[in-house]
Amino acid sequence: MRNDDDDRLPVPLTDAVSLLRELPPVRAEWRADVLREVTTAGRPPRRVSLSIPWAIAAGLVCAMAGGGAAFLATRDRVASPPMASSVDSRASVTMLPVRFSVAAPNAARVSIVGDFNHWNPTTLPMRRSADGRTWEVEVRLPVGRYSYAFLIDGSLTLDPAAPRGSGDDFGAPNSVLMVRGS
């Protein structure tokens, strides 16, 4: 490794300078890393940009993740508290299957709302049964007491097969479900 200045030095010194100018022995990958850091220093931070389709896809993934988490959270709660003639006593542990059904032959949309789904009309839609007259849904609930009602085409309706609750705080009474263990 020489340059023009070396020509003006005495020969013994020139050799010493050359020796000093050589890089110390280091691993090749370390040197490459150092050189890469040096050569990229001062550059603006790297920006990540997504094309519109990828941005939409990422948004959908996030929304699905959020929705999935919300579903799981609701299911967990449903899985946590109810008396009913419809309790399946064959279930063993804490979660017991409970089948709700209501006759509404002319309804277009039926769901169930209650303590077990935070009175959310969208989480437990009921399905029309084969006979076309009744609507059904099965949920798994832990032992406990629950207030609920059917939402038939937007109107709250009591379950004729269940006891009524006392809470008429909001102008519409509720049915009561007790789920108990064995």
Residues in contact with another protein by CB under 8 A are 33, 36-37, 46, 48, 58, 61-63, 65-74, 77, 81-83, 85, 113, 115, 118-121, 143-145, 147, 156, 163-167, 169-174, 176, 178, 180-181
SS3 state at 128: strand
From the CB of 114, what's the least distance to another protein, in Å?
Answer: 8
- The residue among 175, 102, 177 whose CA lies nearest residue 140 is 177
From the CB of 128, what's the least distance to another protein, in Å?
Answer: 23
* Residue 123 near residue 112, CB atoms below 8 Å: no
What is the per-residue burial (b if ≥16 Cβ within 10 Å, else e) of 12-48? Answer: eeeeeeeeeeeeeeeeeeeeeeeeeeeeeeeeeeeee
User: Of the two residues 6 and 97, which places its CB atom closer to another protein in the complex?
Assistant: 97
From the CB of 164, what's the least distance to another protein, in Å?
Answer: 4
From the CB of 179, what's the least distance to another protein, in Å?
Answer: 8
Q: How far apart are CA 176 and CA 149, in angstroms?
A: 9
User: Of the two residues 13 and 70, which places its CB atom closer to another protein in the complex?
Assistant: 70
User: Of the two residues 13 and 154, which places its CB atom closer to another protein in the complex?
Assistant: 154
Q: Cβ neighbours of residue 56 under 8 Å, at least 6 residues apart?
A: none
User: Of the two residues 9 and 71, which places its CB atom closer to another protein in the complex?
Assistant: 71
